Chains A and B, each alone.
Chain A
Amino acid sequence: MKPYGYVRARSVEEATAAHAAHPGARYLAGGTNLVDLMKHGVETPGTLVDVSRLPLDTVEEPPGGGLRVGATVRNSDLAAHPLVRERYPVLSQALLAGASGQLRNIATTGGNLLQRTRCPYFQDTGTPCNKRAPGTGCAAREGVHRDHAVLGHSPHCVATHPSDMAVALAALDATVELRGPDGERTVPVTEFHRLPGDHPERDTVVRPGELITAVVLPPGTAGLPSAYRKARDRASYAFALASVAAVLDVAGDGTVRHVALAFGGLAHRPWRARLAETALLGAAPTEDALAHAVEAELGLAQPLRDNAFKVPLARNLAHRVLSELAADRP
Chain B
Amino acid sequence: MSTAHPPQDRAGTPDAGDGHPDGAAPTRSRVTFRVNGEPADLTVDHRATLLDVLREDLGLTGAKKGCDHGQCGACTVLVDGRRANSCLLLAVAQDGAEVITIEGLAAGDELHPLQQAFLDRDAFQCGYCTSGQLCSAVGMFAEAAAGHPSHVTDPARPAGRGPVELTPAEIRERLSGNLCRCGAYPHIVAAVEDVTR
Contacts and interface: CB of A to CB of B under 8 A. Distances in A.
B68 interface: yes
Given A96-B151, A101-B139, A236-B176, A80 B159 contact: yes
Contacts of A89: 155
Interface string B132-149: 000010011001001111
Contacts of A22: 25
Contacts of A163: none
Contact of B69 (A3, A36, A76, A96): A36
B158 A6 contact: no
B75 to A, nearest CB: 9
A86 interface: yes
A168 interface: no
B50 to A, nearest CB: 11
Contact of A3 (B27, B70, B90, B175): B27
A327 to B, nearest CB: 15
B76 interface: yes
Interface in A1-57: 1, 3-6, 8, 22, 28, 31-32, 35-36, 38-39, 46-48, 50, 52
A5 B25 contact: yes
A80 B155 CA distance: 11
B-side binding surface: helix, strand, loop or mixed?
loop
A106 interface: yes
Nearest to B47: A1
A329 interface: no
Interface stretch (B81-89, B99-107, B118-126, B187-195): B81-89
Interface string A174-192: 0000000000000000000
B93 A76 contact: no
A312 interface: no
A118 to B, nearest CB: 11
A100 B46 contact: no
A130 interface: no
Contact of A82 (B47, B93, B159, B174): B159
Q: Which of the four size classes fits the interface of chain B?
A: 35 or more
Given A3-B27, A85-B158, A102 B12 contact: no
A5 B14 contact: yes
Contact of A31 (B69, B93, B140): B93
B116 interface: no
A105 B159 CA distance: 16
Interface of A: 1, 3-6, 8, 22, 28, 31-32, 35-36, 38-39, 46-48, 50, 52, 76, 79-82, 84-86, 89, 92-93, 96-97, 99-103, 105-106, 227, 235-237
> Can you list the 9 inter-chain pairs with the closest CB atoms, starting with the nearest?
A100-B177, A5-B25, A236-B176, A3-B27, A85-B159, A237-B176, A80-B148, A102-B83, A96-B151
20 contacts: A6-B46, A6-B93, A28-B93, A31-B93, A35-B49, A38-B47, A48-B90, A52-B93, A82-B161, A86-B158, A89-B155, A96-B149, A96-B151, A100-B73, A100-B178, A101-B177, A102-B85, A105-B139, A106-B85, A106-B88
